[in-house]
């Protein structure tokens, strides 16, 4: 979807910059990037620095930045919803018709909002004022800084071959920042490849209860998804 949107809006000086939050680096992400054949910049963030800087706790997340470098919309789910929790067959990995329709609706609303912003700039109903954007930026707590430090140390030890020594730091990152699914998936994957998509993941999702995995996005005064 991003390649098509980029090709559509590139004449208006719109650029997509994709960042893969993946501690596996190019080894695990290159095949997916090459398969997509993107013509926009694709970066790989092994240490989750972008996530720390922009308050990203899950993927896909989007941040809108204007020509002057101002954040117009802080990090938020980018065209996705929680439909997978009830509409995805966990065995076959197939989405139901209702789930596909919900995905289409949410994605369409998000992309249309982006188109409106690119066309109308600050006049778009989906462009936040500086005050509103600041209000939406996730608040960084001391626990989050400690989680980042533990994640980096655990990642370093793991890369140096000290898996047992890395384990408590990776686990601590999850405990200190439980809302970060990026930390959860990456630390699980470092501990045991494939674990991030296993029963461990689904048990954590189910434990959310009524809380969202992808918080609903309030796109603007006119619409919401």
Structure tokens of 43?
């970066």
C-beta of residue 25 within 8 angstroms of C-beta of residue 44: yes
CATH 1.25.40 fits 2-136, yes or no: no
C-beta of residue 114 within 8 angstroms of C-beta of residue 78: no
Q: From first to last of the 225 residues of the chain, give the pLDDT tens digit.
A: 899 999 999 999 999 999 999 888 888 899 999 999 999 999 999 889 999 999 999 999 999 999 999 999 999 999 999 999 999 999 899 999 999 999 999 999 999 999 999 999 999 999 999 999 999 988 878 999 999 999 999 999 999 999 999 999 999 999 999 999 999 999 998 888 877 668 899 999 999 999 999 999 988 644 444
Q: Helix 181-191 to helix 199-206 angle, to the nearest 10 degrees?
A: 150
How many C-beta atoms lie closer than 10 Å to residue 9's C-beta? 18
Structure tokens of 144?
């989050």
CA dihedral 202, 103, 79, 51 (to 10 degrees): 10
Structure tokens of 173?
């990152």
Burial grade of 214 (CB within 10 A; 0-12, 13-18, 19 or more): buried
Rounded to the nearest 5 degrees, what angle is found at the Cα of 220, between the Cα atoms of 218 and 225? 40
pTM > 0.85? yes
> What residue segments make up the domains of the chain, in order of their start?
2-136, 142-206
């Amino acid at each position: 979807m991003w390649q098509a949107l980029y090709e559509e809006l590139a004449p208006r000086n719109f650029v997509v910059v994709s960042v893969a939050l993946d501690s596996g680096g190019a080894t695990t992400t290159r095949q997916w990037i090459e398969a997509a054949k993107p013509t926009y910049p694709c970066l790989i963030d092994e240490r989750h620095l972008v996530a720390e800087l922009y308050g990203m706790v899950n993927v896909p997340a989007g941040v809108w930045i204007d020509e002057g470098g101002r954040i117009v919309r802080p990090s938020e789910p980018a065209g996705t919803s929680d439909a997978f929790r009830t509409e995805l067959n966990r065995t076959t990995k197939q989405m139901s018709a209702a789930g596909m329709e919900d995905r289409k609706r949410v994605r369409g609303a998000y992309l249309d909002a982006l188109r409106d912003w690119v066309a109308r700039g600050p006049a778009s109903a989906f462009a936040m004022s500086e005050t509103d954007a600041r209000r939406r930026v996730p608040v960084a707590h001391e626990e989050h800084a400690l989680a980042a430090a533990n994640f980096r140390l655990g990642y370093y030890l793991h890369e140096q071959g000290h898996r047992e020594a890395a384990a408590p730091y990776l686990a601590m990152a999850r405990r200190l920042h439980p809302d970060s699914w990026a930390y959860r998936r990456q630390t699980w994957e470092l501990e045991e490849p494939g674990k991030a998509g296993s029963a461990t993941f689904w048990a954590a999702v189910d434990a959310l209860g009524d809380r969202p995995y992808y918080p609903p996005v309030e796109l603007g005064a006119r619409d919401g998804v």
